[in-house]
């Protein structure tokens, strides 16, 4: 009896193992002799047609500051909760490490955020209002923090969340201490 009970279990285990091993292959997920599922992207680089691009699809604005620091803004989205989230990246094109200590801003309440983009503001020139980065219950910004020792050539993602201006306001100016201002358009999320 014991052999009969293990017989079907052994067959099932062997089938599961065979199916699992079938998925292991030459690294590209295709059987030998099957053409690869790669397509040639514009510009001549090969990318898998199934993998989405990690690169942002658009550039809303780019700000170039001192010592080779560049901030690229890729997205400004208004969500249904009454917030605007701005996303982008910081690139150190200089020749020394960068710390975003001046970007925290002058307000004592956000000093807990440390080197961050807590000092960023959205300016609605038509409505004559400034929108500051939102904060959590501990006074820390709802933004990228820990912007220290950014090496030359390094790029880091950025985000900052603001209260949303009125829905009729679609163009605002993004300001960050020590950087030139940049006009961006808010998209509906």
Domains and CATH numbers, the chain: 61-188 (2.60.40)
Give one word for 164, left, alpha or beta, with left for phi > 0 and alpha for psi -120 to 50: beta
Q: Are 62 and 73 in contact (CB under 8 A)?
A: yes
Q: How far apart are CA 117 and CA 110, in angstroms?
A: 10
pLDDT (tens digit, 9 = 90+) per residue, 63-117? 898 888 899 999 999 998 899 999 999 999 989 988 878 877 667 666 667 778 8
Give Cβ neighbours of residue 41 (< 8 Å, ≥ 6 apart): 47
pLDDT (tens digit, 9 = 90+) per residue, 116-165? 888 899 999 988 999 999 988 888 888 888 888 889 999 999 999 999 99
- Residue 148 has a pLDDT of 83
């Amino acid at each position: 009896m014991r052999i009969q009970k293990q017989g079907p279990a052994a067959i099932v285990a062997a089938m599961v193992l065979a199916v699992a091993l079938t998925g292991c292959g030459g690294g590209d997920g295709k059987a030998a002799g099957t053409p690869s599922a790669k397509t040639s992207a514009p510009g001549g680089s090969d990318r898998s047609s199934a993998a989405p691009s990690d690169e942002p699809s658009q550039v809303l604005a780019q700000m170039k500051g001192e010592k080779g620091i560049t901030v690229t803004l890729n997205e400004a989205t208004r969500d249904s909760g009454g917030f605007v989230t701005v996303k982008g990246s910081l690139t150190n094109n200089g020749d020394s490490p960068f710390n975003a200590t001046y970007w925290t801003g002058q307000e004592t309440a956000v000093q807990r955020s440390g080197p961050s983009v807590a000092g960023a503001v959205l300016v609605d020139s038509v409505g004559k209002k400034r929108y500051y980065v939102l904060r959590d219950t501990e006074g820390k910004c709802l933004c990228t923090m820990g912007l220290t020792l950014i090496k030359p050539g390094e790029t880091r993602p950025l985000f900052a969340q603001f209260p949303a201006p009125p829905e009729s306001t679609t163009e605002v100016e993004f300001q960050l201490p020590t950087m030139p201002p940049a006009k961006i358009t808010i998209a509906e999320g």
